Structure 1
Amino acid sequence: MTALRLPTRWAAAWDRVPLRGRLVAVATVLIAVGLVLAGITSTALLQRSLVAQIDDKLRTEGTALASQRVNALRNGLYQTAGPSDYYVRLEVEGAQSFTWRSQSVVDAYGDPQVPALSAAQAAALGGRPFSMDSSVAGSHWRAVAYPTNDASGWVLIALPLAEARNTTSTMVSVLLLSGVGIVLLGGLAAGWAVRRSLAPLGRIEETAAAIAAGDLSRRVRTAPESTEVGRLGVALNGMLTQIEAAFDARTASETRMRRFVADASHELRTPLATIRGYAELYRMGALTGADQVDDTMRRIEGSATRMGTLVEDLLALARLDEGRPIAHQPVDLTVLAADAISDLRALDPDRPARLAPLEPSGTAGATLVLGDDARLRQVVGNLVGNVVQHTPAGTPVEIAVGTARGVGIIEVRDHGPGIDPEHAARVFERFYRVDASRTRESGGAGLGMAIVAAIVSAHSGQVTLAQTPGGGTTVRVVLPAAPAAAVPDEGEEQDETDPVHGPPVADRTDRSPLTRPDAPAADPAAEGDRADHPREAADRA
């Protein structure tokens, strides 16, 4: 069990070591292992080289000695003609052996333990060097043996290996000391390099901690993108930007949702309170006369109507927010504008209203766009209805229609007091009213312009506000123009209305939302078949 637990404990301990410590430890171990391998290899090569040099010397001297005659060799050795550091032994069969050695060398390294050889065995060695033990423990000799020239004996010459081994030991000591120093310096250098390399990761850690604490605006100080840490920093900054944007969007969405719920609750509370109050009066018997009961029922009905209108508007916005598909059929903005002018004249005969070209020097003509006829009528109706409700009586109204660069444009211009720039950017928000003190009867719930913006956005268009020259407000709606292939031929259009005056105004007022600027989207099926000709629309205008 212990043998199995130890590796697990070591692994757990290693896992607890910081990355910086791991890298330094790995680098230090690698340096140490490399130095050990290099030292072993160098020592082995050095020792082999030194022994090879000794072997070369022995072969040279041994060959020279073996080539001499025995008598000459013996006489030469007697005369101390042999090399001073060598150990030489001459063995002749049937004669006394002769040994020459340097006393100082023997005292230092002892006598070699020469094996018993014969001339045949010496000849079999072929001059190959071999090692011999010494009479001194730890000392060794290197020797070669050759047969004499007359094959009557053999001669052996040897040298001690102590000097080679001393040199090797010295080399090992030097390598060991230098290796320890190199390992220490390498560990310090590795620690400095790792600390410098991982410093950006430390900054990333600090930034992440600050972000976790709630500071989403913090960013990582990036290194050069050619490095891994630099690319990581760039990727993290991009991710943090998206996260911050997502949090901001969620916060804004939650804020809008809370405001929306609060406004909707407030708008619904007033008619509900009215209905409940009058119902309690009726239940308590406070309404004694028939006139009081009729007035109460009328007020209850009006409150219920306002509440139903608000609910319908909310449902219309919810459907638009869901992104439900809408019809994409050719719709003539000139026809919509002419119908709106006619309805406005029927509702407010004292208000000047006219259909005008988009450019002062242009002419009014067919302006075909792709969209839903009922939805686009609601847009125009809401815009004109806002002019009626929020401008003084008798204020002129103009509806301009035209095309420009592949888009259809319709503008509703009034010459009233206009809208302050601080409110112009928010008029398309839901439940937003420029004058918050307006009553519900005169000011509406603040959903008309929001419905306009939602419908135009569903048609891939744009709606903007601008100041009318001379005073007032201009609402500009831009919609994608219908392609030429989608435009029906003029001869194919049929209209049962009067080609000059068009249908009576009373026949068209029930299909226009001008009576209520915050009107919900009309049911396309209730619109009926509408085939107004552009020329007729211009004539009616």
Structure 2
Amino acid sequence: MPSAASTRSPRRARWRDPAGWPLRTRIVTTMIALLAVLGLVVGGTAELYLYQSLHQQVDTDLDELLNRLRGGPNGGKGFSPPDRPENDPNGGSYISKPPNSLRENSIIVSVSTSGSATGFRIVGTQGSLDNDFDELTESAIAAIRADVVQNGAAVDVDLGGDLPEYRVKAVVKSDGSIQYIGLPLDAVNSTLITVAAFTGCVVAGSLLIAGWGGALIVRRTLKPLDRVAATATRVSELKLDAGEVRLAQRVPEPDTDPRTEVGQVGAALNRMLDHVGNALEARHASEMQVRQFVADASHELRTPLAAIRGYAELSRRSRQVVPDEIAHVLNRVESEAKRMTALVEDLLLLARLDAGRPLAQDPVDLTMLAVDATSDAHAAGPAHYWQLDLPDEPVTVIGDGARLHQVVANLLANARTHTPEGSTVTVKVGAVPNAAVIQVVDNGPGIQPDVVPRIFERFARGDSSRSRAAGSTGLGLSIVHAVVTSHRGKVGVQSRPGQTIFTVMLPLGPPPVVPTAEQGPQMLHSVG
């Protein structure tokens, strides 16, 4: 028994493989994927442009600050000088506090010619006279000195701790000292994140709307294809194997426009249905000709066969002595005439059933029918053991009593013919929901597996495993199948060495809901 995982795996595999998706799903998924790529490209391009623009603005501000710084303590546009300039013992000056008028949250680092460094972060401004500041840690100063190139381009530096990311640029002053100026990037980064989040939400919402709208559009666009598929489905449900078939189903005219792909499919399907319909009509006409020929030939042969039998019987009643050799020949002529008459009667019956001749619709007691047919079989085959297994209550169906009697008689004759003497043949009658059941069971050698699928065909022949000593026309079981089918029933066979079961299922009443004989009961009752 397959596990739950094995039963779920084909579905998961189907969803992993786009080739197994419905056409609507593939179209909508492809459209959403293309829109998602387009959204990512547009959003990424906009984000990159904004990133460059904002960083360019920060670089402009840094250049302005550096220009002011290059103006020196006495320059007209330079920073205001520090309150306490100090000298490095090894030469070169550095500042012990930041210049005035720096922006809030900006940083400045001064490195003397001897390598001593001080750094500050402006935490507040007090007009143009003084600033509130915090000294930078040695690790922050080291990070700035390590990442920023002197007289080079501005660089983003992460100072760690609670400090934000800074955009820093360095300049070498005339006395050889180095000044680093940095502006915070928290506003820039916040703007980039906000824009990215907004763009992502817009793209996601657009994809949802596009997916919903695309699904509606695709569904409406593929409606003609649904109608074409519905037409093909209705045609596939028609019974085309036998009888007169009228393929009235066609794709509607609006769905056969050759200018569209769906219209081309619809037009091709209509042309195919036209060809198939013509072929089925030709096949039915040919079958009707053959059936009519068989019926006419069988009908015409009945009279000469009856005459042959009559003359043969008349010769035996002659008062003159007939030589033994002639008598034997006449007996053989009469015997073969009887056999040919039976064959002609079977062919005529099959032709009538094929032509759809109506059968009688009378109540038929299957229990009494089984008793009578078994009694006849016992008289014809006394060397066999015949048994009946009948229910306590009669089983009655509506049908043609004579034809149903012929069904049971043919099944019993088949068992008698193809089983050795001494075999046991049991006739069972019973009922299951919606159906009456007749079973003929024998304990003979069984039927070869390759013969079972075609055993109800006309003139079907088995092999030597089932004795043919009594002879057979090969039409008995085909008559059984034709009569049962005409009664809207089912017939089947299950066989193995030592047991062969023929099962006939007949509807108990309208509407006929009869299971197949293979789905019916294996055995109605245990063999007594």
Higher Rg? 1
State the TM-score bracket (shorter-chain normalisation): 0.3 to 0.5
Higher RCO structure, 1 or 2 (CA under 8 Å, sep 6+): 1
Greater share of helix: 1
| TM-score normalised according to structure 1 size | 0.44
